[in-house]
A and B are shown apart, each in its own frame.
Chain A
Amino acid sequence: MQSATQNTANKAAANLDHVPPGVHRASATAFDVAWGYTRRYGEYVLGGATLVGMLLTIWAAFVYAPRELVEGEVQRIFYVHVPIAWLSYLAFFLVFVASILYLWRRDERWDWFARANAEIGALFTTLVLITGSIWGRAFWGAWWVWDERLTTSLIMWFIYVGYMVLRSYTGRTAQGARIAAVVGILGFIDTPINYLSVKWWRTLHPDTVLPLGGTPQLPEQMIVALLIGLATFTLLFAFLLLQVYRVERAQAVSERLRAQAEMED
């Protein structure tokens, strides 16, 4: 007879090996089989599509998109800067949603999901700040200006880096997860402020290029190149999210198993 800890250890190991659930069972339905193989091979497809997308993005940014007349070549930074900025918004929105769901359901999977999104969102915001700064140096002649968009972006970066520091400090405890969920909800306040800052204040930062429900402010080829970049970085985001979530889950299971094994000792 296996102990509960043994069973959990075996399940955790099997999950990490990506054994398709249901595939080996006689009672498996077609859906089980399809879901099993999607779990098994889906990330390879996702990873491959991301790689192809990366090459396509470079081609679209450097070859397909026309040279911008005012900003010149440096404007091409826009085809990575804007998609990663949008995806950092998405990541922080998902932290917000997952934090609410964690507080409501107390299901730790939402906590792992929030952690994974915060980590990727912080990475993307770092890249947004770096690429934006390089563009500013080339176009404005300054690495940084205390413009409303830039300042709220920096605040956003501090919020999510702070979130991760907090998570590291509190460990994997229920109390730490609850505090982090509150930070994840309150911290999201800055995200819409950051998005709308170019509307609310007279900023140096260029205005929204694809306004929601409005008319695009760009030539068609530039929009196509931007959408290719957006699709690629969305695939990358999904791929990274899958990987980070898996690491979070495995770390949580590992810590719990070790604690249980030590208690049984």
Chain B
Amino acid sequence: MNGYLVAAYAIVWVALLLYLGWLALRMRGVQAELETVRELVEARAPNGATTTSSSD
């Protein structure tokens, strides 16, 4: 098997997997940030206010 060929395919696949991993980390980070903001908003809400998970 040609070394250049194997190197090209390996680089493409490894790069794509690394990018997917980085995307997952970014998503996790932004979800954590949203959760923090939601808690911040809830903490500042007037007494008796509740939050729901409606998507409407």
Residues in chain A within 8 A of chain B (CB atoms): 1-3, 5-6, 9-17, 19, 21, 25, 54, 58, 61, 72-74, 76-77, 80-81, 84, 123, 126-127, 130-131, 134-135, 137-138, 236, 240, 243-244, 246-247, 250-251, 253-254, 257-258, 261, 264-265
Decide: A6 and B49 in contact? CB cutoff 8 A.
yes
Contact partner of B5 (CB less than 8 A), chosen from A1, A17, A77, A257, is A77
CB<8 Å pairs between A and B, sample of 12: A1-B49, A6-B42, A16-B34, A80-B9, A130-B8, A138-B4, A240-B23, A243-B27, A251-B30, A253-B34, A257-B41, A264-B44
Contact surface of B with A, Cβ cutoff 8 Å: 1-2, 4-5, 7-9, 11-13, 15-16, 19-20, 23, 26-27, 30-31, 33-35, 37-38, 40-42, 44-46, 49-56
Beyond known contacts A10-B38, A77-B4, A134-B11: 13 more, CB 8 A cutoff = A5-B41, A6-B49, A16-B31, A80-B9, A84-B12, A130-B8, A131-B8, A240-B19, A250-B31, A254-B30, A257-B41, A258-B37, A258-B40
Quick check: B41 and A9 within 8 Å, CB to CB?
Answer: yes
Interface of B is mostly: helix
- Cβ-defined partner of A19 (8 Å) among B5, B7, B42, B55: B55
> CA of A131 to CA of B7 in the docked complex: distance in angstroms?
9
Q: How far is the CA of A258 from the CA of B49 in the complex (A)?
A: 19
Nearest CB in chain A to that of B24: its residue: A243
Contact partners of A130 in chain B: CB under 8 A: 8, 11-12, 15
Taken together as a complex, chains A and B put the C-alpha atoms of A130 and B4 apart, in Å, by: 11
In this complex, what residue of B is CB-closest to A16?
A: B31
